Copies of this chain bind each other. A is one copy, B any other.
């Protein structure tokens, strides 16, 4: 992990998705710039680990990350995905620990501010707090939905849903229709809540049905609607 090498003043940062950048006053931004830590990580490195004490909060400046739970001798479970502009390490104040691991999916740059600064900003800047509250509420709904899917769908449906989710988060290249991010079978399995072998089998099946095509690890979406039909019964009208 490389620290502060890529650190730039928030005012000069071109990440306009950042909540700090959008909602802080220029005075506050100066304070943030002074006190933040910017880290650059290689793909597959940990941003934080389950059980670590929470010292602050991370804002993704550039890249993508997965939030996963890890249990000895069990498969991992991807709880959610996040990318540029997203927040990692939502937690309460006080002596609390992370429930999950955050791992870089790509080379990644994150800005970290500590609890004290974070909560001082929230206490003085209502617009920021309000925005963060909405973002938490959104994530809460999304996580609840994913829980519903996990508990009620069969393997075929869960794998279709995982591909749809990837399309929502990362999108596809309009030319090639390929997902803008590629995953190992293991990662897909962790996302869908199944085993890697199941992913292989189901992807072969989807290919037969002409819903997708695979090119090594890349997935080309030929019939998104077809995938959505598979999980349709679960959608909210």
Q: Which residues of A contact B (CB under 8 A)?
A: 50-51, 67, 69, 71-72, 74-75, 77, 79-80, 90-93, 97-100, 122-124, 126, 129-130, 132-134, 136-141, 143-148, 150-152, 193, 233-234, 236-237
Contacts and interface: CB of A to CB of B under 8 A. Distances in A.
Contacts of A72: 233
Contact of A233 (B71, B138, B234): B71
**Which DSSP category, helix, strand, loop or mixed, fits chain A's interface?**
helix
A33 to B, nearest CB: 23
A56 to B, nearest CB: 13
Contact of A97 (B93, B130, B233, B237): B237
Contacts of A130: 122-123, 129
19 contacts: A67-B144, A69-B144, A69-B148, A69-B152, A71-B233, A75-B152, A77-B152, A79-B148, A93-B134, A97-B236, A99-B145, A99-B148, A122-B133, A123-B126, A132-B133, A143-B144, A147-B150, A150-B150, A150-B151
